[in-house]
Amino acid sequence: MKRHKVGYTTGVYDMFHVGHLNLLKRAKEQCDFLIVGVTSDELVSYKNKKAIIPHQERMEIVESISYVDMVVPQIHMDKMEAWEKYSFDVMFVGDDWKGTEKWNKFEDDFRKVGVEIVYFPYTKGTSSSMLREVLSKISAGAVVSG
């Protein structure tokens, strides 16, 4: 039996790669039902970036992953409002957020309502940032194919 009933995680999932897949797989291993919030194009700006793949397409990609039970749009950063709407008992997030002021507050807030936050290690190798950098070089003509 899994440790948690309902899990929740969010992400941009732009240029979906193995790191995204690893996070969703590990999350599903710990809960019976996994809800995934896919960040809207408008909200992606919190990363000071613009999504390459449109929101609706990113939602369709995540919906097709067997580990995912439900996909919802993430239209704001209010995690407590998401909890009120989806009633999850665990939230999964990358460990690059662990120890930040923002996530320390989330931990305090969620502890009061019985929600555990589980941090997963960042997948080494392919990342959206790396893919974005390669695409940037290609569009600038810095990469020449043989």
Question: What CATH number has the domain bearing residue 78?
Answer: 3.40.50.620
In a domain, 44, yes or no: yes
In a domain, 144, yes or no: no
In angstroms, the CA 108 to CA 117 distance is 10
In a domain, 112, yes or no: yes
**49 is annotated as an active-site residue:** yes
The residue annotated as part of the active site, out of 49, 50, 102, 105, is 49
In a domain, 146, yes or no: no
In a domain, 99, yes or no: yes
Looking at the 3D structure of the chain, how many domains does it have? 1
In a domain, 119, yes or no: yes
User: What is the span of the domain harbouring residue 61?
Assistant: 4-139
The residue annotated as part of the active site, out of 2, 5, 28, 47, is 47
Asked whether 8 and 93 are in contact (CB, 8 A), the reply is no
Residues in CB range of 116: below 8 A, 6 or more apart: 4, 89, 90, 91, 110
Supply the pTM of this predicted model.
0.84
In a domain, 145, yes or no: no
* One pLDDT digit (tens) per residue for the chain, 146 residues: 688 999 999 999 998 988 899 999 999 999 999 999 999 999 987 667 788 899 999 999 999 999 999 999 999 989 999 999 999 999 999 888 899 999 999 999 999 999 999 999 877 666 666 665 655 666 566 555 54
In a domain, 55, yes or no: yes
